[in-house]
Amino acid sequence: MNFNGEKPMSDVRVDQRGQALWLTIDREDKRNAMDDGVLQALREGVEEAGRRPGIRAVVITGAGTKVFCAGGNLKPDADGDPFRVDPNRLDNPVALLFKALDECPVATIARVNGHALGGGFGLVCACDMAIAADHAKFGTPEATLGLFPLMILPAMLRVLSRRDVMRLSMTGKPVSASEAVAIGAVNEAVPSADLDAAIDTLVEALAGGAPTAIRFGRRALNTIAGMPYLDGIEYAQRVLPLLAKTDDAVEGFKAFNERRKPNWVVT
């Protein structure tokens, strides 16, 4: 994996832009479809973002303005297609990427530059936040191909209502960017010309928060989301005192009382 801003063999560009690490699927001629190499490169990029000093967010996007990601390569002879049974491979590469996104200590943002379909839509749902170009469409066409979006169901169910998941999965019909906002698939839809500015504004807002609080909070949120209500309350009351003892919390309270901006230590 190349982390110097040069295009690696995996067709994923990696660029640091301020406090964000951008991962761009650079397969515009293939509708930015994912194969094994792309999935591995995205996973490694997400892991690198969590290790790199000063990074507060990882931004995932696609090349061009037409397609964010059209999912997996559906050609029967495709390299690294997601439907091949390999007894030597315990985990599907999609599963490994989604696990990395879940465990990433910094915020993950989908910059949806165009249509997000199938696994591409799952990738949007697997990120913490998403901002889309207003011409983008979102959908899961698998049912029209004799399949079902099984690999992305957990990510979809985490951000969408069950009824919306059923509608998208069973009909295969895409929704517009404005509809995606309405059902909670993306946070905001903006004109293409404003997409980068919207991403930069979001990253800047994230950078204003305490790094340790966000790391604690991401893990706590993902853990509580899978718990029964009362178990979530029990977990929260055990974790909160630990967070309150961190250097960031001490600095945050001190800055509040001194009426100044906090000086976070970004590692």
Q: Give tens-digit pLDDT for 209-264.
A: 999 999 999 999 999 998 999 999 999 999 999 999 999 999 999 999 999 999 98
Q: How far is it, in rounded angstroms, from Cα 122 to Cα 52?
A: 26
Who wins on pLDDT, 238 or 83?
Answer: 238
For residue 41, the tally of other CB atoms under 10 A from its CB is 24
- Asked whether residue 215 falls in the same domain as residue 189, the answer is no
Domain boundary pick from 189, 207, 225: 207
- Asked whether residue 136 falls in the same domain as residue 226, the answer is no
Q: Given pLDDT bands bounded at 50, 70 and 90, which one contains residue 126? A: very high
- Asked whether residue 82 falls in the same domain as residue 44, the answer is yes
Pair 50, 106: CB distance under 8 Å? yes
- Asked whether residue 152 falls in the same domain as residue 198, the answer is yes
The predicted pLDDT at position 84 comes to: 63
Total number of domains in the chain: 2
- Asked whether residue 135 falls in the same domain as residue 21, the answer is yes
Q: How far is it, in rounded angstroms, from Cα 106 to Cα 64?
A: 26
- Asked whether residue 142 falls in the same domain as residue 190, the answer is yes
Who wins on pLDDT, 8 or 93?
Answer: 93
**Crossing angle of helices 36-51/93-103, nearest 10°?**
20
The CATH number that applies at residue 37 is 3.90.226.10
119 torsion bin: left (phi>0), alpha (psi -120 to 50), beta (else) = alpha
Q: How far is it, in rounded angstroms, from Cα 14 to Cα 206?
A: 20
Q: Look at residue 149 and tell me if it is in a domain.
A: yes
DSSP-derived secondary structure letter, 72: B
- Asked whether residue 192 falls in the same domain as residue 236, the answer is no
The predicted pLDDT at position 24 comes to: 98
- Asked whether residue 191 falls in the same domain as residue 249, the answer is no
The predicted pLDDT at position 252 comes to: 94
The predicted pLDDT at position 258 comes to: 95
Q: Look at residue 18 and tell me if it is in a domain.
A: yes
Q: Given pLDDT bands bounded at 50, 70 and 90, which one contains residue 81? A: low
Which positions ≥6 away from 229 have C-beta within 8 Å?
none
The predicted pLDDT at position 82 comes to: 57
Torsion, CA 35, CA 22, CA 152, CA 90, rounded to 10: 50
Domain boundary pick from 167, 188, 207: 207
Q: Given pLDDT bands bounded at 50, 70 and 90, which one contains residue 153? A: very high
Instruction: Compute the average pLDDT of residues 100-114.
Output: 96
Q: Look at residue 265 and tell me if it is in a domain.
A: no
Q: Of the candidates 108, 104, 101, 110, which has an alpha carbon nearest to the alpha carbon of residue 154?
A: 101
Q: Look at residue 7 and tell me if it is in a domain.
A: no
Give percent of the chain above pLDDT 90: 85
Q: Look at residue 6 and tell me if it is in a domain.
A: no
Q: Look at residue 157 and tell me if it is in a domain.
A: yes
Q: How far is it, in rounded angstroms, from Cα 168 to Cα 146?
A: 15
Two tokens at 159?
């951000």
Q: What is the mean pLDDT of the chain?
A: 91
Stated as kind and residue range, the H or E segment containing 38 is helix 36-51
The predicted pLDDT at position 267 comes to: 65
Q: Quote the domain boundaries for residue 180.
A: 12-207
Pair 130, 158: CB distance under 8 Å? no
Instruction: Compute the average pLDDT of residues 27-48.
Output: 95
Which positions ≥6 away from 66 have C-beta within 8 Å?
28, 31, 114, 115
Q: Given pLDDT bands bounded at 50, 70 and 90, which one contains residue 7? A: very low
- Asked whether residue 231 falls in the same domain as residue 199, the answer is no
Q: Look at residue 174 and tell me if it is in a domain.
A: yes
Q: Give the residue carrying structure tokens 């250097």.
A: 247
Domain boundary pick from 184, 207, 230: 207
Q: Look at residue 86 and tell me if it is in a domain.
A: yes
Who wins on pLDDT, 78 or 192?
Answer: 192
- Asked whether residue 246 falls in the same domain as residue 125, the answer is no
- Asked whether residue 134 falls in the same domain as residue 230, the answer is no
Which positions ≥6 away from 191 have C-beta within 8 Å?
133, 134
- Asked whether residue 101 falls in the same domain as residue 49, the answer is yes
The predicted pLDDT at position 6 comes to: 46
